[in-house]
Chain A
Amino acid sequence: MTVERSTQQDDAASLRGAIDQPQASVIHKLDEELALELRDVSVYYGRFQALDSISLDIAKRKVTALIGPSGCGKSTLLRCFNRMNDLIPSARMSGVIDYEGENILGDEVDAVDIRRRVGMVFQKPNPFPKSIYANVAFGPRVNGFKGDLDALVEASLRRAALWDEVHDILKTSGLALSGGQQQRLCIARAIAVQPDIILMDEPASALDPIATLKIEDLMRELAEQYTIIVVTHNMQQAARVSDYTAFLLAGQDRTGRLVEYGPTGTIFTTPQEKRTEDYITGRYG
């Protein structure tokens, strides 16, 4: 494990003297097989810069948590991985996200194709007002799956630890389930298209503590097969479920920057950056 200390200079910010903190960040290099390599990823909404030059590596079949106070750009970063930012007309992304030799942010890459391989689970469970079966079958159907759809639906529901609860009510509406079940249905739906990577945007923040624990257990299980990147406000959750943690923070210019990235244990016990320590001990956000 090597530690790289880099210093970024933000010209505009230093001209205004607006930044009150040094622009250093601590980024651990990972001794892992990599799923994604980010180099200088920046995101703009119109003239506003939401993220500034994020560079980090995401380990394959591990859980990576993105933490930081509200407005630090962690959801924006998550939405780069499956090009969901494309849906915002004013959004513009620069830099490179290397995914098996392809640049996810490249113009030549089709967002529709990326989204099949990089699935997503949202903050608020959003099952379609269709049957449980049709919810899971939606992705395979739009992606032209030819094969035993029943088996794929069952396997996906089993993988999402929902099969035992719904196997006899597959024809009822997904909206009839409880919040926690709905979120596991959304996870099953994401798994059904057989992605490599699953993005989760605060997947448990709308759920009660029991349902939250179930989702967290599920994330650990899924990490055996999938690369998981999770945005969370809940630091205990990040500490419990993730292998690696990235801490992002927005300066006074509201532009999000990566402050520290490394193994979760290190980030939570011996952070190198004072700002990380302040956040983890509850002094921000």
Chain B
Amino acid sequence: MSDAAPMSVEGEWRPKVALRIWIGRLFVGACVLAIVVSLLLLGALIIDVALDGAARLFNLPTILDVGFLTNFPSRFPARAGVYAGVIGTLYMMALTAAIAFPLGVGAAIYLEEYARPNWFLRFIQINISNLAGVPSIVYGLLGLQLFVRTMELERSVLAAALTMALLVMPIIIVSAQESLRAVPPSMREGAYALGATRWQMVRHSVLPYALGGMMTGNILAMSRAIGETAPLIIVGALTFVAFLPQDPLDPYTVLPIQIFNWISRPQADFQQVAAAGILLLLIMLLVMNSAAIVLRQRTRVRW
């Protein structure tokens, strides 16, 4: 035990409590302003699109204008529909997920659970994070050379899905790594201490608790891909398609390209059709993101 040191330090105290509280309020005010501005901009965008497109997408007697959903594109705005675009988008997204999810999750498991931490791992890690920020058109150029030309997949759904898989893989890997990291080390130690091998530990003691987060990351990555247009223009999505892709090597179109095509037409009626397409894309996005949230809530483990 040391003797208590005397508390006699010279100095003056200026608490200025009122000022400090005001600075705190000022900060809250700035934050509220930031969110109001961004919500207003977003709200203006949605209202603008909805005013233009709702009439075309929704038809009061039928709730949803079936013709718009089931028609192929047409020269006549009144008969133009998004059928080919919606089916093409769903087809491509399913293929993309089927390719990107196993590859991305596998890579994440290797990086988190198996790879020894050294400079090479850090190098790979930094590059994966960087890849997530590469402009999507660059992936389009890569896909054009690699899939469309070298692998001779031509303008097919498969070529588009492979390109999209490359695009979303970094997002899937990073989010899967984060959900693996969220599993406490004590779960790994607990499994090891019972004589589990590394694979048994990963399979039974880590993956079950990381899977929900991985699925969420996957859906969010798909939400990113659903709106991508630039790389698909490069790998050759068609803009006017009057048929559906029958197998992965068929030509295709997707919703954003369809919208892009309509917007670039001079007739005012096509602007309305484009707005309806945008509204539909937004609804699809909303559904996917809601699914991600529900999944996250359902699979959350309270440690």
Residue in chain A with minimal CB distance to B118? A89
In the complex the two chains form, is B192's CB within 8 Å of A142's CB? no
- Which residues of B sit under 8 angstroms from A139, Cβ to Cβ? 194-196
- Which residues of B sit under 8 angstroms from A119, Cβ to Cβ? 193-194
- Which residues of B sit under 8 angstroms from A208, Cβ to Cβ? none
The minimal Cβ–Cβ distance linking A194 to chain B, given in whole angstroms, is 11
CA distance A189 to B193 in the complex (A): 10
In the complex the two chains form, is B194's CB within 8 Å of A189's CB? yes
The minimal Cβ–Cβ distance linking A135 to chain B, given in whole angstroms, is 9
The minimal Cβ–Cβ distance linking B171 to chain A, given in whole angstroms, is 27
In the complex the two chains form, is A129's CB within 8 Å of B301's CB? yes
State which of B117, B189, B195 has its C-beta within 8 Å of the C-beta of A112: B195
- Which residues of B sit under 8 angstroms from A219, Cβ to Cβ? none
In the complex the two chains form, is B195's CB within 8 Å of A113's CB? yes
The minimal Cβ–Cβ distance linking B209 to chain A, given in whole angstroms, is 6
Q: With an 8 A cutoff between CB atoms, is A190 at the interface?
A: yes
CA distance A87 to B117 in the complex (A): 12
CA distance A112 to B196 in the complex (A): 6
CA distance A124 to B186 in the complex (A): 8
Considering only residues 182-196 of chain A, those with a C-beta below 8 Å from chain B are 186, 189-190, 193
Q: Which of B37-45, B197-205, B264-272 contacts A (4 or more CB under 8 A)?
A: B197-205
Considering only residues 211-235 of chain A, those with a C-beta below 8 Å from chain B are none
CA distance A143 to B191 in the complex (A): 11
In the complex the two chains form, is A115's CB within 8 Å of B187's CB? no
The minimal Cβ–Cβ distance linking A115 to chain B, given in whole angstroms, is 5
Q: With an 8 A cutoff between CB atoms, is A279 at the interface?
A: no
- Which residues of B sit under 8 angstroms from A128, Cβ to Cβ? 187, 190-191, 205
The minimal Cβ–Cβ distance linking B294 to chain A, given in whole angstroms, is 19
The minimal Cβ–Cβ distance linking A172 to chain B, given in whole angstroms, is 14
Given A89-B116, A129-B209, A129-B303, A142 contacting B189 (CB threshold 8 A): no
CA distance A12 to B289 in the complex (A): 61
In the complex the two chains form, is A115's CB within 8 Å of B186's CB? no
State which of A89, A124, A138, A175 has its C-beta within 8 Å of the C-beta of B191: A138
Size category of the B interface is 20 to 34
Considering only residues 73-106 of chain A, those with a C-beta below 8 Å from chain B are 82, 84, 87, 89
CA distance A166 to B193 in the complex (A): 23
In the complex the two chains form, is B186's CB within 8 Å of A126's CB? yes
In the complex the two chains form, is B192's CB within 8 Å of A84's CB? yes
In the complex the two chains form, is B194's CB within 8 Å of A126's CB? no
In the complex the two chains form, is A116's CB within 8 Å of B189's CB? no
State which of B116, B193, B205, B209 has its C-beta within 8 Å of the C-beta of A120: B193
In the complex the two chains form, is A122's CB within 8 Å of B189's CB? yes
In the complex the two chains form, is B117's CB within 8 Å of A190's CB? no
- Which residues of B sit under 8 angstroms from A112, Cβ to Cβ? 195-197
The minimal Cβ–Cβ distance linking B29 to chain A, given in whole angstroms, is 42
Residue in chain A with minimal CB distance to B116? A89
In the complex the two chains form, is A116's CB within 8 Å of B195's CB? yes
- Which residues of B sit under 8 angstroms from A189, Cβ to Cβ? 190, 194
In the complex the two chains form, is B194's CB within 8 Å of A115's CB? yes
The minimal Cβ–Cβ distance linking A21 to chain B, given in whole angstroms, is 22
The minimal Cβ–Cβ distance linking A81 to chain B, given in whole angstroms, is 11
Q: With an 8 A cutoff between CB atoms, is B302 at the interface?
A: yes
Q: Measuring CB to CB, which residues of chain A are less than 8 angstroms from any residue of chain B?
A: 82, 84, 87, 89, 112-113, 115-116, 119-120, 122, 124, 126-129, 138-139, 141-143, 175, 186, 189-190, 193
28 contacting pairs across A/B (C-beta < 8 A)? A82-B193, A89-B117, A112-B195, A112-B196, A115-B195, A116-B195, A120-B189, A120-B193, A122-B186, A122-B189, A124-B186, A126-B184, A126-B186, A126-B189, A127-B190, A128-B190, A128-B205, A138-B191, A138-B194, A138-B205, A139-B196, A142-B195, A142-B200, A142-B204, A143-B194, A186-B190, A189-B194, A190-B194
Ranked nearest first, the 3 interchain pairs of A and B with the lowest CB-CB distance are A116-B195, A139-B194, A126-B186
